[in-house]
Structure 1
Amino acid sequence: MNKTNQLLLACAASALFAQSALADIRTTNPKRVGMSQARLERIEPAMQAFVDQQKLAGTLTLVARKGKVVHLEGVGYRDREAKTPMSEDTIFRIYSMTKPITAVAALTLWEQGKFQMNDPVSKYLPELANLKVYAGMDGENMVLEDTNKVMTIKQLFTHSAGFSYGFTQSPVDKLYQQSALFSGKTKREDLLKEVAKLPLNHQPGTKWNYSIGTDIIGILVERLSGQTLGEYFEEHIFEPLEMDDTGFYVPKDKQDRLAQIYVINQQGQTVPMENEPLGDYLSAPEIESGGGGLVSTIEDYYTFTQMLLNGGEYEGKRILGRKTVEYMRTNHLPSNLIPFEPSSTGEGYGLAMSVTVDEQGANTMGSKGDYGWAGAASTYFRIDPKEQMIVISMTQLMPSSYFSYNKDFKNMAYQALID
């Protein structure tokens, strides 16, 4: 691309940024909130390098501190083949960044005494009583045993209940892959019946295993509220926070803003994805997935994260109590399950989000107690109560974390701190 075209795209993106509500809280002097403008300016060329090397089609990155946005930059394209530039109003499939939103919805019900964390899951979802547990293989036959511990609601939040996702080639995950859960044909009312046909990966509470637990929490929200998950989100989170571009699908009048999703092919090239998991997000889904079904914009997600950083309130709208948020962002795993994955050194797990418990052992700059999660298409966020800081990065590439852009971005945000 020649310099003239680059300048035109930059001007167009800047114009879109200026129209956003985020313009009201952007600061022209990051030093006022303890950050270096010169050091923040390192982020854009680093992200541009991923685009120039054709690793990513485009990125949109945000850094905020003490309630002020100090960095908001888009590079590359939301649709590389159509030459549509990345802009602040781009809509992204946030996949597992849905999980914290589902957790917040459930916690609003917890605050009302609708359930307790140590309640048996089967108390509210009787379809999940009498589940069997995988206990090994006897030749080609799977050995199953009864549960020896009560599965609790809290274990659903922390991915320790025993469910799985079907991401590996383990015997249990192979059954997930063959089940009707991910066929796109299962009816909402039949979802738990399909889950109940599958054995647990382990005894409840004994391991951390990434799973459909948050999807089950979404069903719990529906059972306790009498609303669909989308209706509950809209009434209790999206409408109060004015998250107007977040939902389970993209309406027709906004579909031109949905980013193209990419995948790494067998040759290691970044190419458009042909068959999207969880559907195309262009029409209302049969099942509203609390584990990975939402689309959103960086502005909407910033509002959500700032609400959490503020202790449950944003611009006079309170979603959760302060102690509820503190409980949510506290590590709830025992020491023998930390780190929850080998690649997540220094990380424990709160409710639907990881939390740094050992900043010296972590793989990126940060603080003890910073927390967040990522999405399957390489979206990412982190909230740091100690530094009063938020970082969010958006792109659309599967598999997640194939390239290091999220780690590079987080480190570059933290290296800009000067107070």
Structure 2
Amino acid sequence: MRNAKRVAWLSLAGVLGTGLALAADETPVQEGLSTERLARIAPVLKQEIEQGTIPGAVTLIARNGKIVHFEAHGFLDSARTKPMTRDAVFRGFSMTKPFVAVAAVALMEQGRLSLRDPLAQYFPEFKEMKVYAEVRDERGRTSRVAVPAKRPILVWDLFRHTAGFTYSGTAPFPEMKEAYEKADVESLNTDVSNEEFIKRLAAIPLAYEPGTRWEYSVATDVLGLVVEKVAGRRLDVHLAETLFKPLGMNETSFQLRPDQASRFADAYDADPLKADLWRLARSEQDPGRRYVHGGAGAVIGARDYFRFAQMVANGGELDGVRILSRESVAFMLSNHIQGLEGSPSPTTGPGYGFGLGWGVRLDEGGAWIPGSKGDAMWAGAGGTSFTVDRAERIVGVFLAAGPSTRQKTRFLFKNLLYGALVE
């Protein structure tokens, strides 16, 4: 009956035009999403833009592999003079991480890499790592000392952020923050080479014993260098040849092209996080001047990221191009931090574990936003995010340049997405 009503409405609309008033139960539906409810997205984001939350955004929603919503909102620039376009490109930051994870799993499928491999097999500098340990003196005062780690760092730890590394901005101890900043581990202020990055990072004690705690970190940058070593070519080149080109991701790279410059989305100049993050990204610079940032370096667009995410939603294949096996995708989207301390909740909100490269929902409830058990998501520090819900066959992409408001906007978009799902 519902389909018959829909056909009748479409026929009538073709004759009378689109100004027809509809009863609630006659609202047209695309792939199970209400077009009336999808139409809520634009005015909600318009209000956020007027309030100064973000300069603009691009939103894309697909179900069953078909795009049902793809819109540009607001402005590209801080001065709000250039209208946002659907083909705008953004600093992807941590939405780069899933690219590297997929490339590494592809090498596993080829028998060239294993989760069980010690990191020192590829970089001997990590062979005898030390870890911070808290000790008490006879007066009960605590201090931290570096002691030998109980087990080696494995490639598995790089995927799931359990190696014991950190980021300087979120370092759990003052000593570690100071060491990361002094060594410029993240290549924020200087162009740090592959060799220097590995040398400097390996010289700093780990925050935690490997394999015991989820701690968001430069682990994916290290994994990217492992991929480089196994593949025998620079990470950005390898990703372009094995992932971006095969999937038709023509706007994705690690360096902004001249033809993209006029479509490059920017954050408000007043955003307190912009200066440091944009300096870290250095998207206009040849990535080979420093180690290629597998954890944060990509320039991305909405349609391209949809193609990547849809490949994942399809179980590793898109338009006849197979990147991964179905079982490898299922393995990546399972929780790999059961029983460990730490959580990706600062990015995902509560209710998520972590798979091989992204957050994974643990159950239907226990979260801030709707979703399905096993749905996967991740986000970038610049204001971007995506979700893949295989149970509902949904892909959602939200791209904005708003570092300070990124949590608000990513959850807002996801509520709007699921609020449109009616069948």
Query: Retained in 1: the 8 A contact 2:220–2:295?
Result: yes
Amino acid at match of 1:334: Q
Amino acid at match of 1:292: A
Structure 1: segments with no counterpart, 5+ residues: 1-28
The answer as to 2:39 corresponding to 1:35 is: no
Q: Which 4+ stretches in 1 moved above 6 angstroms?
A: 137-141
Tell me which residue corresponds to 1:121.
119
Which one of the candidate residues 317, 324, 340 is aligned to 2:321? 317
Partners of 2:269 and 2:383 in 1: how far apart? 11
Which one of the candidate residues 259, 278, 281 is aligned to 2:280? 278
Which one of the candidate residues 241, 244, 247 is aligned to 1:241? 247
Q: Within 5 Å, give how 1:283-322 maps onto structure 2.
A: 283-285=285-287, 286=289, 287-322=291-326
Partners of 1:189 and 1:272 in 2: how far apart? 28
Change (3 A) 1:281 1:34: same
Between the aligned residues of both structures, percent identity stands at 37
Which one of the candidate residues 339, 345, 358 is aligned to 2:350? 345
Which one of the candidate residues 254, 258, 267 is aligned to 1:252? 258
Change (3 A) 1:340 1:283: closer
Q: How much has 1:335 moved relative to structure 2?
A: 3.2
Partners of 2:411 and 2:326 in 1: how far apart? 29
Q: How much has 1:253 moved relative to structure 2?
A: 2.5
Partners of 1:30 and 1:227 in 2: how far apart? 50
Normalised TM-score (structure 1): 0.87
Tell me which residue corresponds to 1:189.
195
Partners of 2:134 and 2:270 in 1: how far apart? 34
Q: How much has 1:96 moved relative to structure 2?
A: 0.2
Amino acid at match of 2:77: D
Q: How much has 1:256 moved relative to structure 2?
A: 1.4
Which one of the candidate residues 378, 381, 384 is aligned to 2:383? 378
SS at match of 1:217: helix
Deviations 1:324-368 (A, max 9, x none): 111111111113437444773211100110000022101101110
The answer as to 2:403 corresponding to 1:405 is: no
Partners of 1:136 and 1:297 in 2: how far apart? 45
Partners of 1:78 and 1:239 in 2: how far apart? 26
Which one of the candidate residues 368, 375, 381 is aligned to 2:373? 368
Query: Retained in 2: the 8 A contact 1:375–1:400?
Result: no
Q: How much has 1:32 moved relative to structure 2?
A: 4.2
Change (3 A) 1:251 1:137: farther
Q: How much has 1:141 moved relative to structure 2?
A: 6.7
SS at match of 1:394: strand
Query: Retained in 2: the 8 A contact 1:98–1:290?
Result: yes
Which one of the candidate residues 209, 214, 220 is aligned to 2:226? 220
Query: Retained in 1: the 8 A contact 2:93–2:281?
Result: no
Partners of 1:30 and 1:354 in 2: how far apart? 33
SS at match of 1:260: coil
In terms of mean alpha carbon deviation, does 271-280 or 297-306 score higher?
A: 271-280
Amino acid at match of 2:198: L
Change (3 A) 1:79 1:40: same
The answer as to 2:366 corresponding to 1:358 is: no
SS at match of 1:337: coil
Q: How much has 1:416 moved relative to structure 2?
A: 1.0
Aligned residues: 386
Amino acid at match of 2:233: Q
Query: Retained in 2: the 8 A contact 1:338–1:346?
Result: no
Partners of 2:130 and 2:59 in 1: how far apart? 44
Partners of 2:50 and 2:310 in 1: how far apart? 32
Change (3 A) 1:340 1:322: same
Q: How much has 1:90 moved relative to structure 2?
A: 0.5
In terms of mean alpha carbon deviation, does 247-256 or 56-65 score higher?
A: 247-256
SS at match of 1:51: helix
In terms of mean alpha carbon deviation, does 273-282 or 358-367 score higher?
A: 273-282
Partners of 1:89 and 1:254 in 2: how far apart? 9
Q: How much has 1:127 moved relative to structure 2?
A: 1.8
In terms of mean alpha carbon deviation, does 119-128 or 311-320 score higher?
A: 119-128
Partners of 1:161 and 1:405 in 2: how far apart? 30
